[in-house]
Chain A
Amino acid sequence: MEAVLQIQHLCKWFGKRKVIDDISFSVNAGEVFGFLGPNGAGKTTTIKMIMGFLSIDRGTVVIDGLDRRLRYEAAMAKIGGIVENPEMYKELSGRVNLEMYARLHDGVTPARIDEVLELVGMQNRAHEKVKKYSLGMKQRIGLAQALLHRPRVLILDEPTNGLDPMGIKELRDILKRMAHEESIAVFVSSHMLPEMEQMCDRVGIINNGRLLGVKPIGALLEEVSGKEVYRVLTTSAGMAASLAVRAGYSVQAEGGDWADIALQKEQVPLFVALLVENRIPVYGVSRLEQSLESAFIQITGGGNTIA
């Protein structure tokens, strides 16, 4: 498989704070790569470094074999994308915005603009000024702009923002088609796992500026579904926790009158029975809505990278 986007040892400091810490990964032609992480993890910062908004303090970005630092314009010509929200010139029509962007690339014909407008379903509204567009329409025009010059890498930052369910489905189909039929490398960031699940082939997980790991989506889902955390309310939380450890369950956290234990669904009645047998009063058991972050940490076993 051909790695179209290669990121090696990327680092970024904002002042003294290291916001991106030695991130390396690569995205292959023909795959949709998900970049998953909570808000503030460094997703957008990474994307902005790839797209030329932020300087690269250390590390390299190679696009289709071209080092971005050495051959900036040639490398950037192979990238298309949307960073955060797509912002256009509001006084100009969607079409004029695309024409302006097309002018900065080589070989984008007016016919190609029509083709892309049709692809994103904006052919009938393209003559209107951008300030009249809804957020969803802006997303569509932004996608059209990103695809205009047939990039080898498509980078989308939270692309489903502002889209209705229909729009999300359409976007998903477009992205899959781009990757699988036109063998573009698609790089999508999100903080929502279910969204990733439906469109990505592989997922990289980022937190606190560090890449925790990259896994095929199937393996990831299996692990997340296999481990759930239940909170047991009891007056003797310490005893409950040590009991759980002795029985081979993992204790996530404990407080004064509660303990969080990682269990599979069928283990719950067995664990409750164990507590009762040992005369530990159980006031309630509830499944915790697992935070993505803790799930990631849990999945990746505390951060050892599998690049």
Chain B
Amino acid sequence: MRKLGALYVNEMTKMTRKISILVLAAIMAVVTVGMGALVKITQVNNRQYILYSGAASTREELEESIREAQEQIQDCQSQLENQALGEEERRNLQMQLNDLQVTAERDRLALKYNLAGENPNSYYTAALQDLAVYRQKTAGLESTPSQQLTAEQRSDQEICDLLVKSLEQDSFRLYTDAKIKMIEADDTLSEEEKQIEIDCSELLYQAEPTGQTAGGGGSAYDRAASRIGQYRLSLLNNANLVEDGGKEPLTNQKRAKLEDALAVLTYRLQNGQLPADYESYSYSEMATFAMMSMGVLVLGLLIIILAGSAVSSEMSTGSIKSLIIAPVKRWKILTAKILALLTVSVLGLALWFLTWLVTSGLLFGFGGVDYVFALGGSVCTLPYYLYMAARLLTNLIPLSIYLLLALMLSVVTRNTAAAVGVGMAVTFGGEIVTTVLAQLSAGEWMKFVPFYHLSLESKFFPFGSLEQLLSGYGGDMSMLGMSIPRIANTSLVFSLIYLAALALCMALTAYDSFIRRDIK
């Protein structure tokens, strides 16, 4: 062990003089910062194009929007007066007119309740929209005595009143009550479905009693609540309504996955483990993903270059002699080299982590949403930065595979150019080919393609991306940042065993060749 330690210190000493390490470490840092900046620029640019409706707009914008709507309404009405219209066209125009009237009404209501320029993720947006719709429905009913109204009309009026009150009193509770009444009045839903939707509304209210981040398209709370509803409906109907539109019945495995996702989302909602601004969150997630995949890609290049030259360059310069004449067995020499290369990988990941921490912190704000996962029926959490570190460390597995591949080539060919060239071609070519094959929907045999197993992040952290959890997308991302659809259904354990076998084969080949072959 002492000899191995000494060899390791020597290998690290040699590493300090390798210019390629400095150059590629610098490239990795620059690329990481660059990817973060690129996403930030996209976010800033896109913000200008987002059309905020209702509550998000300023007073002037609302007035402008009402004027435009009025013009279009007049336009529609004059068209409808045309007698020559067909049945179909008339219906379309009527629907268009209806929509326009609702929009204009909504914006007028926003002005009325003084909600211009409010948070777009508050419940106001939804409340204004609903109120506008119910105003439309109950128009002209005010003068009718209540005895002459149908039950449905009375319920509509109650909902309308509740909505008005919720806006006047700024009460999300009242809005939730209105929402529940709407659900109860919906005849298209079965009793069970109604109960699920009502539960979700209550859940949302409990999670966010102020309603300030509980409505509109940009709210993670709203999305989580509606996704919980979908998951529960899926379980109820024994079909996945989120991923495949409910065409196939659930397998036991898929049912378990849905139950886990449901538990995680419910936990997140109940414990406030959701981003306040979903849009900024998804940009920061996108940035983190881009930064990580590019950073690890550059690190992969570095490792292939270092491992691909580890033995062959010492053979060609002859410096291997001072290792061979030393009183150390050959397997120790190779082991020390592998340990040194692994150290460089870990240090590279640490450098990435620091770069990412500072860059994403400055661009998107420090901190984030903790990782919540279901394990054996109970829900656990992992603090955000710990989760990021763990997520980063899973990259050590593909990096080790690249390391062993390049090292094996270096030992066997004794030619640096060949080892690095073939190493890179196999690594990145293989990634691309696998991705393409996966896109072409190749069969179950895909599970025996090595590269198919290298994207381990989503296997280690199946509940990792909130985006995936909320949108229900269940694919993998390759090292090159391309998405790989799940074709073959492989578990984490299968992938790990497969990769371990692969690593063992490459290591044995390298050790056998290095120990037994003559050094001429």
Q: How far is the CA of A77 from the CA of B324 in the complex (A)?
A: 11
Q: A53-B520, A85-B318 are in contact. Are A100 and B10 (CB under 8 A)?
A: yes
Q: Closest CB-CB distance, A48 to chain B, in whole Å?
A: 8
Pairwise interchain contact A55-B518, C-beta atoms closer than 8 A:
yes
A276 at the interface (CB under 8 A from B): no
Contacts known (A53-B519, A54-B519, A100-B10); A89 close to B327, Cβ less than 8 A: no
Residues of B within 8 A of A53 (CB): 321, 324, 518-520
A42 at the binding interface (Cβ < 8 Å)? no
Q: Does B449 contact A (CB under 8 A)?
A: no
Cα distance A253–B326 in the bound complex, in angstroms: 48
Pairwise interchain contact A79-B325, C-beta atoms closer than 8 A: yes
B150 located at the interface, meaning its Cβ lies under 8 Å from any Cβ of chain A in the complex: no
What sequence of 0s and 1s flags, for each residue 22-63 of chain A, a beta carbon within 8 Å of any chain B beta carbon? 000000000000000000000000001001111100000000
Would you list which residues of chain B between 1 and 31 have a CB under 8 Å from chain A?
A: 3, 6-7, 9-10, 13-14, 17-18
Complex-state Cα separation, A41 to B326, whole angstroms: 26
Rounded to whole angstroms, the CA-CA distance of A179 and B325 in the bound complex is: 20
How far does the alpha carbon of A75 sit from the alpha carbon of B320 in the complex, in Å? 19
What is the minimal beta-carbon distance from A66 to any residue of chain B, in angstroms? 11
B318 CB contacts on chain A under 8 angstroms = 84-85, 87
Q: In the complex the two chains form, is A104's CB within 8 Å of B6's CB? A: yes
A92 at the interface (CB under 8 A from B): yes
C-alpha spacing A134/B328, complex, angstroms: 29
Q: How far is the CA of A85 from the CA of B317 in the complex (A)?
A: 11
Interface centre among B7, B14, B320, B325 (most CB of A within 10 A): B325
A96 at the binding interface (Cβ < 8 Å): yes
| Chain A residues near B13 (CB-CB < 8 A) | 92, 96, 100
Is A83 engaged at the interface, CB distance under 8 Å to the other chain? yes
Interface residues of B in 482-520 (CB under 8 A from A): 516, 518-520
Contact A105 B327 (CB under 8 A): yes
Of A52, A89, A91, A103, which contacts B324 at CB under 8 A?
A52
Question: Quick check: A72 and B329 within 8 Å, CB to CB?
Answer: yes
Q: Smallest CB–CB gap between A84 and chain B, Å?
A: 8
Residue B322, interface by CB 8 Å? yes
Interface pair A87/B325, CB less than 8 Å apart: no
- CB contacts (< 8 Å) of A100 on chain B: these are 10, 13, 322
B114 located at the interface, meaning its Cβ lies under 8 Å from any Cβ of chain A in the complex: no
Cβ of A73 within 8 Å of any chain B Cβ, yes or no, is yes
A263: Cβ under 8 A from any B Cβ: no
Interface size on A, residues (CB 8 A): 33
Any chain A CB within 8 A of the CB of B136? no
The verdict on A103 contacting B10 (CB below 8 Å), with A54-B520, A72-B329 known, is: yes
In the complex, what residue of chain B is closest to A129 when comparing beta carbons? B17
Residue contact A104 to B326, C-beta cutoff 8 Å: yes
Measured between beta carbons, the chain B residues less than 8 angstroms from A51 are 324-325
Chain A residues, Cβ within 8 Å of B319: 87-90
Once the chains bind, are B322 and A103 in contact (CB under 8 Å)?
A: no
Q: Is the CB of B3 within 8 A of A73?
A: yes
Residue of B nearest to A55 (CB): B518
* A81 interface residue (CB < 8 Å to B): yes
Q: In the complex, how many angstroms separate the beta carbon of A96 from the nearest chain B beta carbon?
A: 7
In angstroms, Cα B313 to Cα A87, docked, is: 12
Structural contact, B327 and A103, CB atoms closer than 8 A: no
A72, A91, A103 — most chain B CB neighbours (10 Å): A103
Residue of A at shortest CB range from B17? A91
| Residues of the B chain whose Cβ atoms lie less than 8 Å from the Cβ of A103 | 6, 9-10
Check A104–B14 contact: CB distance below 8 A.
Answer: no
B17 nearest CB across to chain A (Å): 4
B322 to A145, Cβ gap below 8 A? Answer: yes
- A53 vs B329: C-alpha distance when bound (angstroms): 11
Inter-chain contact A89/B325, CB cutoff 8 Å: no
A76 adjacent to chain B (CB < 8 Å): yes
Identify the closest chain B residue to A91 (Cβ): B17
Shortest Cβ distance from A291 into chain B, in angstroms? 27
Known contacts A53-B520, A104-B3; is-contact A73 B14 (Cβ 8 Å): no
**Which chain B residues numbered 324 to 343 have a C-beta less than 8 Å away from chain A?**
324-329
Shortest beta-carbon distance from A250 to chain B in Å = 40
Given contacts A103-B6, A104-B7, contact A90 B327 (CB under 8 A): no
Contacts of B519 in A (CB 8 A): 48, 53-54
The answer for the CA separation of A181 and B518 in the assembled complex, in Å, is 36
Verify if A74 is at the interface (C-beta below 8 Å from B): yes
Question: Which residues from 94 to 111 on chain A have a C-beta closer than 8 Å to any C-beta of chain B?
Answer: 96-97, 100-101, 103-105
Name B13's closest neighbour in chain A (CB-CB). A100
**A residues near B329, Cβ cutoff 8 Å:** 72-73
Apart from A53-B519, A74-B327, A104-B3: 12 A-B pairs, beta carbons within 8 A: A48-B520, A53-B321, A54-B519, A55-B516, A80-B325, A81-B325, A83-B325, A87-B317, A87-B322, A90-B317, A92-B13, A100-B10
Which 5 A-B pairs have CB atoms at the shortest separation, nearest pair first? A87-B318, A76-B327, A77-B327, A91-B17, A103-B6
The 27 sampled A-B contact pairs (Cβ below 8 Å) are A48-B520, A53-B321, A53-B324, A53-B518, A53-B520, A54-B518, A54-B520, A55-B518, A72-B329, A74-B327, A76-B328, A83-B321, A83-B325, A84-B318, A85-B318, A87-B319, A87-B322, A89-B322, A90-B317, A92-B17, A96-B13, A101-B322, A101-B326, A103-B9, A103-B10, A104-B327, A104-B328
